[in-house]
Every structure is written in C-alpha cells, then in structure tokens.
Structure 1
Amino acid sequence: MFGVIEDVRIEALATSLSKNRVPVEERVGDLIKPKRLARVIAGTGVEKLSIVQPGISASDLCVASAERIFDEGIVKREDIGAVFFVTQRPDYPLPATSYSIQDRLSLGTDVLAFDVNCSCPGFVYGIYIAASMLSNLGKKVLLCCGDVTSNPDITNPKDTSFLTIMGDAASVAILGRTPENCKKKIYYNIDSYGDRFKKLYEPRGAARERKRTTADGEMILEPENYSMMDGMAITDFTLKEVPDNITALLKYVDLSKDAMDIALVHQANGLIVNSLAEKLGMSSEVMPFKCANIGNTDMASIPTAMTELKKDGADYTKYHTALLSGFGAGLSVASMIMDLSDINILPTNEI
C-alpha cells in the first residue's frame, strides 16, 4: 500500500530504557555452552540487554520520555490533542493504558486516548495513524510505543532465541503540522502478510486460549504459553519481503538508495541489519545497528536507534532524506521516507 502524507512532521522524540544492562551470558545462564554463546553474540551483535527492574512497565518509560520533552519546553502539554500507545503489553486488560498515560502526564480532558496492538512495525504504523488524525484534530499527537519483554511471564526462560536479543525500552514522539513556509511529504509503503501470522505469535493468553498454570497459579513452562517464532521463516521474510518493500518504495518516490542520508530499520539484531544493508547496497554508516548494548526493543527499536544516534553526536540537520522501516509479527513490513532535518531529538535516557 503506497501513499503520501503531506505537511506532517515529527517535532520531538525521546526514548527511555534501563540503566541496568545485563550481559547476554548472564541472561541465558547455563542454557548455552560458552563457545556456542560466543558465536551467537558475534552473530547477533548484541552483547548487553536493557532489562528494567521488576514492577516497571513500558508506560512508565513512556511517561519518563514525555516528561523530558515537556520539561525542555519543546512542546506544551496543552498542545496535545491525542495520545495513543502502540504496545503488545498494556498495563491492564481494561482500560487502554493511554488513559493512564494521559492522567499521569496531566494532559487535558479534551484528549483522544486509545491503544494499538502492534509489534516491530509499530513505530512506522504509529506515524501513519498520527498523521491521519492530524488532518482534523487541530492539535498535536503524542505517539507512545514500547514493550517490556523481560518479564518471565512473557519471555520463556528456556527460549534462548529470545533471551539473547530482547531488551526493554519505550519511546514517545510528538507529531504536528508543518509550518506554512516549510511544506513536507512523507512517502510510505505498508504490506501485511496475515497468512503467515503463526510464524511469530503467542498462542495463549487472550480470547482463543488461556495460558496454562499450575493449581497455585504458577505459569507452566510450555512453549505455547510464550511467544513462539519460526526463525527460518522470519529470516526468509526479512531478507525477501522487507528489501522488496523498501525497493518498491524507492521506485515509487523515484529515488535511488544513494539518496538516503540515513536508513533506520528495525533493530532486530546486528546480523539482520547488516544483511539488509548488504541486500539493499547500503553502507553500515547509512544503515547502522545501534542497539548492541540494548537489544531488540520491538516497536521502540527504530526510535531507540534514533536517540542513540543523537547521543553519539549525529547531526540531524543533515538528514533530509531518511528511511524508516519496521518489520515483524503480523507478518508485516512498514516503510517510510521522510525529512528529519528539523526534528528535536533528545539523547537516550536511562532510568
């Protein structure tokens, strides 16, 4: 699905994650022999993981990120007309966590609030949703996105494919209309492959089937109680459909890969990012992997990479043509080309 969004920009962006960085070898314990673990770490490029303290949720990280933007005076609270939270792990089954975020940020009552269930493409989906709302909202949109996957009720404590790469983080972006003297366009291409939804999914825990527990309420250690991934199918999807989606978007916009000032793709792991860069003929400088000491933070991974770049001194005024591409559960891939040269971006925050 191709399209163009006019006169919308990301005004501000902030990410919060844990100051607690757990080495991968500590996270997996004795589940993998040292020599094999060394090969896994070398392959994924992930050495440490952002793991929050027990009791901290993704909404806590979102609130911390938004408060930084408000405290800096970049955007006023009264300018926000909608808040929505892209996550797969809300604080409660009911109501949407966005209402809690609205209250904790002391936003007005004249604010739309809702949650969106989406995984790794979620940040790009969020930009699309926010842009669609801005056409008649009259105010700015606060986009929140993130997950805390380190909870043992979420990640199988025996599944090394997740334990070696998954980290905790959440980001917020404030989107608004562009000034009259600064017209801009966002080009997008979004594809969905629902016929493959079981290639990365969590069978239990919702309406279809409850998670199974012991008589004492303890989670039973069965794969179906946790996220399950067909690694080969996901790799094939990532190296076929994702570059095809990006290549088609470049053709739609009539741009070459060399026109990209920066390309930020879902930070699944270093191997995936580097393989995509090679597949698309882009350098690692243009398509960097920035989460070696953070991990795969799901829908927050692209904005986390953005704030990590800022922390490392990146000059965003040079990023007039930026590619963003998220891909994962669904299966889905969502890509955008946009101008980031006037974004107000804060370095990654640790709490």
Structure 2
Amino acid sequence: MALFKVDNVKVVGMGATVPKYEESNWDYDLLTEKEQDLLVKTTGIEKRRIAQSGTTTSDLCYHSAKNLLSKLEWNSNEIELLIFVSQSPDYYLPATSIILQDRLGLPKTAIAFDINLGCSGFVYGLSVISTLISTARIKKALLFSGDVSSFSINKNDKSTFPLFGDAGTVTALEFDSSANPLYFNLQSDGSGYEAIIIPDGGLRNPTNDESYIEHQIEKGIKRSRRNLKLEGMDIFNFSLREVAPNINNLLEYANEDKSDFDYFVMHQANKLMNESIRKKLKIEKDKVPYSLAKFGNTSSASIPLTIVSELKNNLSKGKHKLILSGFGVGLSWASVLLDTNNLICTEVLEYE
C-alpha cells in the first residue's frame, strides 16, 4: 500500500460549478413508479445536473476557478502549478490543463498536466499536487477535478442514466510551513478494469462502424460500445471489501483515531453502498455528508462538490479534521487525512 505523508501544504479554498439544466429521476419514464421509488431509496439520487451540447468539463472548472480566485484575491500570475483530473477532456490531445493555463492567464512558467482518473481522482490528484508543492516549494497551485459523464451515458440504459451528473471543481492550495501534514493511502487493482468501462474509442478498440450500434442487453438496458458500461454489483462488492481497510490502515499509519475527525466525505457513488461503508467504519451519521440527492454521482468532482455544497458554512469557521475517500473506476481507491483552517468555499455555481 502507498502510505505516505506530505508536509507544508495547506488547502486554502474550494469551488464548484454544475450545469443549470436538471434531470429528475422521478421523471425518468424508463422506470415504473415503483422502480423510481426503489432507485431513489437505494441510491439516494433524486436529481442530476446535465451539461448541454458544447459544454465541457473545463468550462465548468474554469467557471469555478474564476469565482474562487476572486474570493481568495489571488492573482493568476502567482499560480505556478495546475493539474486537471478528468476522464472527459476537451480533446484527445492536447492536455486540457494546458488550455486552462492559457485561458486563466497563468504564466508560461506554470506546470500543467492532466490525470486520467474518475472516482478516486480527487484524492489521487490531491496527492500529486501536494507532493509537488512540498518538494518544489510551489507557492500557489490549482487542482481541477470533474467530468461531463453524461456524454457517454445512454438514456435507454437504466443501469447508468439515473446515476450520473456533471460537475467541475477547483481546489486552491499553497505552500505553508506551519500546515499540518496530509496523510495518503493510494491503491489500485487493474484486474477489475471492465467493471466500469467505455469499451470502444481508445487504441485497444478503435471506433468503427459498429461502435455506435445500440444493443439491447436486457429489458431497460440498451447501449452501444461507445456508452459507459457499469457492473454495479462488482463495484458494490469491491467498495465494501476495500474502502474500510484502506481508511483503517491510513488512520493507523498516521496514528490518528477516527473519533477525532469532524467529517468523513466519501465519493458520492450510491447511498446504500456508502452507508454500508460508514457502518463498517462505525462513523456517526452526522459526520457523513451527502450531495447525492441533488447532484448524483459526479465522478472526480463528487468529494469537493459535497464539501462546497454541504460543509461550506461549517468549514469556513475555525479548524476541522477531514477524512476523504474516493473509489471506483480502474479499479482505483484512495483516502486522505487533512486539516482545514477557515476554508474558503464559493457557492455551488450554475453554468448555462
């Protein structure tokens, strides 16, 4: 296990943006009324925000950044590092981070690169950006995380369409020699790569004439090989098996007791699954916030979006201890222990 500590890094602020257009699972006509009730009860997802044609993940992230930078009173030319975590980039190439560097007016001396990760992406991205800040003594940096997952979802697939929403977030960090350490535990298991996958479109299975042909998998599940495929039970079993031990091992490594933490923010995947993890860890309900009902599963955006949406007011005053954990596509999972001090958060912004 990749257990490690990073010193001298402070998480200063967070921002989040969602598309204005909203889909309600109560209006999803592929499900009966009884199925709608069961879906909402088990997943916790009532509504999702869906990007309209032409809107990219970077648009949502850029909107978040402009607002947060104004609130922090940061100047763009002070930012030395930008990382973009997403599985829905603007282009196959070049990297979206470099486009954002120019769009935000960051100096040409800034480091910029992308990370291709989903559910665990925010924590992985946080580990990479904080390590660079610490080792290179970078003064100010921005971590973007988000996805427009709806582009790959088939509306006729009831196993995926009601679950995923779109969002883009930004997290601001800076070098601070007085900051408490961040502790990380990062893991991966590629043997489960087919559990969440878009089969065609890469070099392994290039897009061809058959890639967009929709196939009836079973009743209520119709998709093409360019659509997202999700094996829900495989992910459920993986998460219940791996997430709690990952967090417990991290707490032991950091010599911390989970009772001392104020909040435990999980990737917003599925209410039933997340509640099962919470119970395994014996964490109180009021320490585990959810944004699932409003936004659904927003991939790598889900942890910062939940913080901005549900904890903004609480974290803005004083010091707090957080456990953050992301898990899913890859298979990949990661957790971090971090402290905040008067964290500055924007409102959840809407993008038209």
TM tier, smaller? over 0.9
Counterparts of 2:101 and 2:208 in 1: how far apart (Å)? Answer: 34
- Matched with 2:203 is 207
Structure-1 residue corresponding to 2:341:
341
- 2: CA distance, partners of 1:292 / 1:125: 25
Give the distance between the partners of 1:157 and 1:262, measured in 2 at CA: 35
With 75-84 and 137-146 compared, the bigger mean Cα shift is at: 137-146
1:38-57 deviations in Å (ceiling 9; x for gaps): 11111111111111222111
2:156 corresponds in structure 1 to: 158
* Residue matched to 1:98: 97
Q: Could you say if the C-alpha distance between residues 85 and 299 of structure 1 is closer, same or farther in structure 2, counting changes exceeding 3 Å?
A: same
Matched letter for residue 47 of structure 2 = K
Kept after mapping to 1: 8 A contact 2:270/2:297: yes
- Report the equivalent of 1:240: 241
In 2, Cα distance between equivalents of 1:192 and 1:308: 29
In structure 2, the CA distance between the partners of 1:319 and 1:302, relative to structure 1 (3 Å rule), is farther
Q: Report the Cα distance in structure 2 between the residues aligned to 1:285 and 1:19, rounded to whole angstroms.
A: 29
CA distance in 1, matches of 2:272, 2:40: 10
Aligned to 1:189: 185
Instruction: Name the SS of the counterpart of 1:346 in structure 2.
Output: strand
Q: Establish whether residue 140 from structure 1 lines up as the match of residue 140 from structure 2.
A: yes
> For residues 291-343 of structure 1, what are the alpha-carbon distances to aligned partners after superposition, in whole Å with 9 as ceiling and x for unaligned?
311111000000000000245x3244455321010111111110000101232
* C-alpha distance in 1 between matches for 2:66 and 2:339: 25
Moved more, 223-232 or 199-208: 223-232
Q: Conserved in 2, the CA contact under 8 Å of 1:273 and 1:288?
A: no
The match for 1:227 is 228
Q: Is residue 169–residue 300 contact of structure 1 (8 Å, CA) maintained in 2?
A: yes
- CA deviations on 1:252-304 (whole Å, 9 max, x unpaired) are 12222211111101011222222221111112211121231111100000000
For the 8 Å contact 1:307–1:345, the answer to whether it is kept is: yes
| SS of residue in 1 equivalent to 2:156 | coil
Equivalent pair of 2:85/2:116 in contact (CA under 8 Å): yes
Map 1:291-330 to 2 at 5 A.
291-311=292-312, 313-330=313-330
The change in CA–CA distance for 1:316 and 1:244 in structure 2 (over 3 A counts) is farther
- Distance in 2 (CA, whole Å) between partners of 1:252 and 1:126 is 21
Q: Distance in 1 between matches of 2:316 and 2:247?
A: 22
Q: Offset at 1:137?
A: 5.1
Given residue 173 of structure 1, which amino acid in structure 2 is its aligned partner? Answer: T
Q: Does 1:49 align with 2:45?
A: no
What is residue 75 of structure 1 aligned with on the other side?
74
TM-score where L is the length of structure 1: 0.92
1-side partners of 2:198 and 2:335: how far apart? 25
User: Is contact 1:317-1:340 (8 Å) kept?
Assistant: no
Q: In structure 2, what is the equivalent of residue 266 of structure 1? A: 267
Native 8 Å contact 1:261 1:318 kept in 2? no
Measured in 1, the distance between the counterparts of 2:256 and 2:98 equals 41
- Higher mean Cα deviation, 94-103 or 296-305? 94-103
* CA distance in structure 1 between the aligned counterparts of 2:208 and 2:284, rounded to whole angstroms: 46
SS at match of 1:95: coil
Gaps of 5+ in 2: 216-223
TM-score by length of 2: 0.92
| Aligned length in residues | 341
Q: CA deviation at 1:186?
A: 0.5
Cα shift readout 1:157-177 (whole Å, capped 9, x = no counterpart):
222121111000010112111
Measured in 2, the distance between the counterparts of 1:88 and 1:41 equals: 26
* 8 Å CA contact retained: 1:212, 1:220: no
CA distance in 1, matches of 2:13, 2:315: 15
Q: CA deviation at 1:104?
A: 1.3
Contact 2:77/2:105 (8 A) holds in 1: no
User: For 1:35 and 1:138, how far apart are their aligned partners in 2?
Assistant: 54
Q: How many angstroms apart in 2 are the aligned matches of 1:221 and 1:139?
A: 50
Q: 1:16 to 1:72 in 2, by over 3 A?
A: same
> How far did residue 73 of structure 1 move?
4.1
1:40 aligns with 2:36: no
Q: CA deviation at 1:63?
A: 0.5
Q: Quick check: 1:199–1:233 contact (8 Å CA) kept in 2?
A: yes
Amino acid at match of 1:324: L
2:220 is matched with which residue? Answer: none
Secondary structure at 1:293 match in 2: helix
In the other structure, the counterpart of 1:177 is 175
Cα shift at 1:221: 1.6
Query: Counterparts of 2:276 and 2:66 in 1: how far apart (Å)?
Result: 37
Question: What is the DSSP-based 3-state SS (H/G/I as helix, E as strand, rest coil) of the residue aligned with 2:160?
Answer: helix
Q: What amino acid does structure 2 have at the position aligned with 1:142?
A: L
| Contact 1:10/1:340, CA 8 A, preserved across alignment | yes
**Cα deviation per residue 1:59-109 (whole Å; 9 max; x = unaligned)?**
000100110022224322111112121111111111111121111111111
Determine if the alignment matches structure 1 residue 9 to structure 2 residue 10.
yes
Find the residue that maps to 1:128 and give its secondary structure. Answer: helix
1:110 aligns to what SS in structure 2?
A: coil
- Where does residue 221 of structure 2 map in the other structure? none
What CA distance in whole angstroms lies between the structure 1 residues aligned with 2:269 and 2:82?
26
